[in-house]
């Protein structure tokens, strides 16, 4: 493995910046890193929720104080500040630069996944050089410039891609839950991160939405090859949705670059419009239409099937969630489950039945 | 128009570097610039064809000597060296650097469209600075980082996208021939360049295959907006094909970013496999399947129709070409013509019938 994108990073103690949005969609990076990450999170910075604890959102197994200032966070001895939000377009809110500067001056590394690279800010780069701390921009693409070659999967490997009815709907989470269940069943399972949060969680990968468009499929092909070297069941994190007006091309690059043996379609019941496109009334399609759309576009390069449906039912009472899951199974003829709420075993069983 | 991508460049006198491949597919940039460009081409550098004339490939209206060396080309007083090939992956063959250096030392600007930017080569950049010449890398993306907004087309505008059965099959040429015919019919017609050759020809545009993948659709949306400001009939140059294993994601970014009112499907009869994918036997699909595929993926964001088929029949005798066109019309139920050979009037009539 010659590219640093596949070198797993060392573990850190994070303070996570999630100002104004902890527990909400813009801070999904913060939630993902706490729930699934390899690193320790010692504090969350969000002055609007200061004094509370991340356990309110993530359950009693979590104990992470939410604090109002960097000074308070430093009392918990972080060694890095993680930028835990993903604003539309990926840009750094100008007023956060002050906090990042202070963190560098306190000796912290900076870990970010924005489109606008922290390391390209001359002031911040100079401050880090002077203080001897590191700035890690997970979205910075690898140097390789290779188009897809049409690589075939190795024998006995199973490549599964999570796909969605929208962006920001849980495709990364479902891939991680599937890996968890597969490992529990004794399978050699691997998660392939394709976005900055997944990279922060697993310590390697590539943010495909930042790649030069000509090389998306070639880079995904190579990521899957790396995944196959690490294990037998390769769960690739999906991005966007095939009908999203802004992000569908990234989605297709994953479908055609990964050539998955099977796909799992991720949806959130009750979401009616594409994220950020409510005003434009960009409507989320019926799941059975989406199953057909994904299978049709996959077949343009390599046939694949949607083997199961994963729903995020967090907003529903348990009884309602079971009813919605049953309705979804009736509508699509596929196994449907909420892997965060009920575990990913039934989804994994459906995949094994489809692929073994 | 605040971005230089939409500022039309000044005209130049080109020597075109097409070493070893003039008249063949790798030098399609050279052919395109000679056939359709605004600039004057004074010489072609290709030592393997030295002493011949570009008229052998481009007809008697063209009179451009093919020479063996830069020294000979300089006798024709070029003011710029244009890199007229597009190697796979876009990289600069190392042995060409010597020629480029000599051209800079002779006071020529360098105009290129490779993925590897000439201006990023420290030696070449230093040489150009010292000599006071300009290096123009058409593939360098604009600074803007904006995702698609779902912009609607202005009233009374007609946006047409050329799509293909493969890459390198004539989508740019068909868009240019459609513009030519539309202008001849008195329509306010515009060509929107989305690749480096189109940019060299028309003096503006963006090479979308070089964009950050997250911004492909947003940038295409903006290019179409610029096109609509310049005219009423907007012919957008397509890229790749929706079933190409390496480039389909760029294609989908154009389909969903441009939201064309109609599409023209471009094909070359007799081509059986995707360009560069012959060994992998990546087969070109039947045209009627491709019509359906393009209409289906377009409809995921904005409905569109394939209104006509454009064939490149250059390899066929005239009688055979007419027979193939008739067969294509019978197979697809659409108007089919070769706009280079017979003019684009029938294709344009089909578009007008579909859109007016």
B85 against A172, higher pLDDT: A172
Q: Which two tokens stand for residue B264?
A: 């023209």
Mean pLDDT of A328-340: 98
How high is the pLDDT of residue B2?
A: 40
With CB atoms and an 8 Å threshold, state whether A148 touches B246. yes
Domain residue ranges in chain B: 4-137, 158-355
What average pLDDT does chain B have? 94
Residue B307 has pLDDT above 70, yes or no: yes
Least Cα separation, residue A291 to chain B (angstroms): 13
Residue B296 in contact with partner chain A when CB distance is under 8 A:
yes
Disruptive mutation site among A142, A206, A245, A283 for chain B (greatest number of B CBs within 10 Å) = A245
Percent of chain A whose predicted confidence (pLDDT) is above 90: 88
Q: How far apart are CA A245 and CA B149, in angstroms?
A: 8
The residue of chain B with its CA nearest to that of A217 is B246
CB A46 within 8 A of CB A72: no
CA angle in degrees (0–180, nearest 5) for A239-B253-B211: 85
Least Cα separation, residue A211 to chain B (angstroms): 5
Residue B153 in contact with partner chain A when CB distance is under 8 A:
no
The residue of chain A with its CA nearest to that of B115 is A145
Q: How far apart are CA A323 and CA A329, in angstroms?
A: 10
Disruptive mutation site among A250, A277, A300 for chain B (greatest number of B CBs within 10 Å) = A300
Helix axes B248-258, A248-258, angle to 10 degrees: 160
Q: How far apart are CA B69 and CA B55, in angstroms?
A: 19
pLDDT tens digits along B1-52: 345 566 777 889 999 999 999 998 888 899 999 999 999 999 999 999 999 9
Residue A90 in contact with partner chain B when CB distance is under 8 A:
yes
Using a CB-CB cut-off of 8 Å, the residues of chain B touching A167 are none
B286 against A96, higher pLDDT: B286
Mean pLDDT of B68-76: 97
Using a CB-CB cut-off of 8 Å, the residues of chain A touching B256 are 245, 248-249
Top-level class of domain A4-137? alpha beta
Mean pLDDT of A347-352: 98
With CB atoms and an 8 Å threshold, state whether A213 touches B218. no
How high is the pLDDT of residue A62?
A: 96
The residue of chain A with its CA nearest to that of B302 is A245
With CB atoms and an 8 Å threshold, state whether A212 touches B212. yes
pLDDT tens digits along A152-170: 999 999 999 999 999 999 9
Least Cα separation, residue B150 to chain A (angstroms): 7
Confidence of residue A1 (pLDDT cuts 50, 70, 90): very low
Using a CB-CB cut-off of 8 Å, the residues of chain A touching B150 are 245-246, 277, 280, 282
How high is the pLDDT of residue A85?
A: 81
With CB atoms and an 8 Å threshold, state whether A248 touches B115. no
Residue whose entry in the numeric block shows the structure tokens 């070029």: B78
Residue A24 has pLDDT above 80, yes or no: yes
Confidence of residue A25 (pLDDT cuts 50, 70, 90): confident
Using a CB-CB cut-off of 8 Å, the residues of chain B touching A242 are 300
Mean pLDDT of B256-281: 95
Mean pLDDT of B214-223: 97
Q: Do domains A4-137 and A158-355 have the same CATH topology?
A: yes
Question: Which residue among B89, B217, B293 places its CB closest to the CB of A249?
Answer: B217
CB B113 within 8 A of CB B200: yes
Confidence of residue A91 (pLDDT cuts 50, 70, 90): low
Q: Which of A208, A69, A88, A224 is nearest to A140 (CA)?
A: A208
Q: How far apart are CA A190 and CA A180, in angstroms?
A: 9
pTM listed for this prediction: 0.94
Residue A259 has pLDDT above 80, yes or no: yes
Residue A255 has pLDDT above 80, yes or no: yes
Residue B301 in contact with partner chain A when CB distance is under 8 A:
yes
Q: Which two tokens stand for residue A69?
A: 């200032």
With CB atoms and an 8 Å threshold, state whether A91 touches B145. yes
Phi, psi of A346 (to 5 degrees): -70, -35
Residue A105 has pLDDT above 90, yes or no: yes
How high is the pLDDT of residue B145?
A: 87
Q: Which fold does the domain B158-355 belong to in CATH?
A: Rossmann fold (3.40.50)
Q: Which two tokens stand for residue A73?
A: 């966070």
Lowest mean pLDDT among A242-251, A316-325, B92-101: B92-101
Q: Which of B12, B131, B23, B138 is nearest to B80 (CA)?
A: B12
pLDDT tens digits along B130-148: 999 999 999 999 988 899 9
Radius of gyration over alpha carbons of chain B, in Å?
20
Lowest mean pLDDT among A330-334, B144-148, B292-296: B144-148
How high is the pLDDT of residue B3?
A: 56
How high is the pLDDT of residue A2?
A: 40
Residue A301 in contact with partner chain B when CB distance is under 8 A:
yes
Coil vs helix vs strand at B190: strand
How high is the pLDDT of residue B4?
A: 57
How high is the pLDDT of residue A27?
A: 86
The residue of chain A with its CA nearest to that of B116 is A145
pLDDT tens digits along A189-239: 999 999 999 999 999 999 999 999 999 999 999 999 999 999 999 999 999
Mean pLDDT of B68-85: 95
C-beta neighbour count of A72 within 10 angstroms: 16
With CB atoms and an 8 Å threshold, state whether B115 touches A214. yes
């Amino acid at each position: 493995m010659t590219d640093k994108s596949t070198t797993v990073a060392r573990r850190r103690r994070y303070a996570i910046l999630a100002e104004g949005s902890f527990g909400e969609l813009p801070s999904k990076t913060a939630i993902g890193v706490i729930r699934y990450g390899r690193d320790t999170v010692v504090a969350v910075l969000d002055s609007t929720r200061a004094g509370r604890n991340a356990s309110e959102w993530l359950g009693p197994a979590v104990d992470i104080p939410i604090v109002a200032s960097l000074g308070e966070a430093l009392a918990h001895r972080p060694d890095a500040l993680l930028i835990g939000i993903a604003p539309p377009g990926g840009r750094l809110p100008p007023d956060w630069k002050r906090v990042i500067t202070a963190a560098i001056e306190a000796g912290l590394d900076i870990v970010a996944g924005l489109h606008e690279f922290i390391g390209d800010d001359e002031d911040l780069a100079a401050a880090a050089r002077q203080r001897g701390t590191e700035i890690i921009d997970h979205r910075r693409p690898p140097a390789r410039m290779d188009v897809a070659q049409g690589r075939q999967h190795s024998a006995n490997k199973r490549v599964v891609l999570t796909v969605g009815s929208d962006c920001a709907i849980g495709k990364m989470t479902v891939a991680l839950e599937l890996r968890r269940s597969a490992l529990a069943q004794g399978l050699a399972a691997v998660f392939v991160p394709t976005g900055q949060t997944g990279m922060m969680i697993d310590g390697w990968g590539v943010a495909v939405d930042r790649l030069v468009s000509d090389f998306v499929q070639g880079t995904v092909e190579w990521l899957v090859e790396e995944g196959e070297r690490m294990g037998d069941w390769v769960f690739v994190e999906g991005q966007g949705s095939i009908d999203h007006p802004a992000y569908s091309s990234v989605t297709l690059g994953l479908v055609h670059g990964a050539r998955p043996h099977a796909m799992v379609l991720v949806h959130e019941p009750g979401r009616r419009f594409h994220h950020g496109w409510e005003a434009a009334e960009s409507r989320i399609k019926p799941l059975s239409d989406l199953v057909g759309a994904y299978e049709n576009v996959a077949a343009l390069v390599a046939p694949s099937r949607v083997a199961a449906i994963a729903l995020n039912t967090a907003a529903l009472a348990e009884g309602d969630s079971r009813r919605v899951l049953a309705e979804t199974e009736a509508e699509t003829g596929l196994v449907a489950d909420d892997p965060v709420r009920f575990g990913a075993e039934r989804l994994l069983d459906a995949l094994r039945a489809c692929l073994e």
